[in-house]
Amino acid sequence: MGAELFGRIARKKGFVRESQLANALRFQEELFALGFEKRLGDILVEDGVLSREQLDQVLRLQQINEQGLWSKRFAKIAVKNGLATQEQVDAALETAREGGFQVGIGAVLVDRGFLAPVAVRAIRQAMERIDRSNEAASTVSTPTTGAPGTAKLGVEIEVEPEDLDSALLVRRTRDVLFAAVALRDGLVLVPELERALREQARLHPEEPPLEDVLRDRGILSRRELDLVGQALDSAQREKLAIPGYTVEGVLGHGATSIVLRARHELIDRPVAIKLFREEHAATKDVNALVEEARTIARIRHPNVVGLFDVGRLHRRIYYVMELVDGRTLLDLIREKGGLPEREALGIARGICCALEAIHAAGLVHRDVKPLNVLIAKGGIVKLTDLGLAREVGGKDETPDAVYGSPYTISPEQVHGEPVDIRADLYGLGATLFQALTGEPPFDGTNALAVMMRHVTDPVPDPRKQKPGLHEGTAQLVQKLMAKSKDERPSLPAHVIEAIDKLLC
């Protein structure tokens, strides 16, 4: 309920798009599977979708909405049990709403003499029991009191059917999981389970737990029921584990994967594990992912993040990679709003050295951008995420697809043309522009608009945003971002030479 309500409010306020919310919820589910918990709002802030101010606003609205929903439930129970009239609860609801539900409806009703404190406690206890219960109904009895303004409290507090939805959902969910475990362990046959489910449906609205129906029909013994229950409880405590590694935290996530901080259990080496999402593995042949790993492993260079191992977990592929203890270039840009010229040029030089190694391996990276540049302790630059890397002239699984990131994509990539190292040098130019100025070279209302500006707009001069920039640095950026690849430097070595002259 919490994440759902948060997302609904954030969408209504126009703070997030449906796709952004779906990605964040997907990431949250992955974290739960790994044994980690993180609030949806915190994920959206870390992804740069929400600002802290927007997060606080949504949380305030969420709290008000939750208190409002709770107050409406409280009011319905009070009226149904004759503890207050509809007019009294309506007036109390309006007062509580006007105050932003800082004071609950129960306190308002007590303050106006419509309800005694003991009645408020009785209603709250009934609501709390329903929220915890897996049964279809729950009642709470309280001692009779002579307090004014209350009904007789020696009878059970009745609850509206709507108030049972969450408990019923919990029980039905357990029924589904119980059936799945019983089938998995070979204790029931599908026809037996089907007959038990029909029997359960015939008993509506009582609809007893599936476990009771299986017992009463003699399908499962008490011992077998206990075994399934224990197996289910154990399975619900399980988390996704990668053999041989202890997962210690989450480093980040993207459209195709989640990156984990882990430790090799035998040699006690810290590593990063790139765990591909199931849907990504489903769209690609497993052999293609393994071949991709072989491609990455061909590159051995201090400025390229190394690959140690490849494995398969359920329906997912994972890469075990070098763990870089540092920050991304994008983090630095967001923090500083633009780096000092010499620092930005030094980082660009490190990227160039990495591209030189990639070029020597006969590959093209195709996704050079600030997010894929890591700055390790000591200032060592590491180029990472070779998931889009391909052999020069190699074919993609989807020939008509566009590969690259909107803010750093080269014009030939936008057109879907064959690419070589000069596409990566264009990405380097766009990355250097952003490192120097704090802003990408082109912006727009959506990804397609940004990509088209790489094709149609003149190459920007970074000195317009950073006037004190050396003329040679500005010229280097513009040359790297030339629309025609024939007008760009042809080799990373040429760019390294130009940067060294600027750094002299």
Cα dist from 478 to 203, 441, 454, whole Å: 75, 10, 12
Please state the φ and ψ torsions of residue 402, each to the nearest 5 degrees. -100, 125
State the catalytic residue, choosing from 163, 175, 367, 424: 367
**CA 493 to chain CA mean position, Å:** 39
**389, 363 contact by CB (below 8 A):** yes
Token couple for 185: 């362990």
367 is an active site residue: yes
CA gap 119, 158 in Å, rounded: 13
CA gap 279, 21 in Å, rounded: 18
Sort 484 into a burial class: Cβ within 10 Å, 0-12 / 13-18 / 19+.
exposed
CA atoms lying within 13 Å on the CB side of residue 272: 21
Omega cis (within 30) before 205: yes
CA gap 45, 10 in Å, rounded: 12
**309, 319 contact by CB (below 8 A):** yes
**145, 166 contact by CB (below 8 A):** no
**502, 476 contact by CB (below 8 A):** yes
Cα dist from 136 to 172, 173, 231, whole Å: 10, 13, 24
Across the strands, what pairs with 465?
none
CA gap 421, 415 in Å, rounded: 16
CA gap 84, 211 in Å, rounded: 40
CA gap 120, 194 in Å, rounded: 44
**CA 344 to chain CA mean position, Å:** 31
Cα dist from 260 to 240, 250, 318, 384, 440, whole Å: 12, 4, 10, 14, 28
Give me the torsion for CA of 251, 257, 263, 267, rounded to 10°.
-140
**307, 321 contact by CB (below 8 A):** yes
> What is the set of active-site residues?
367
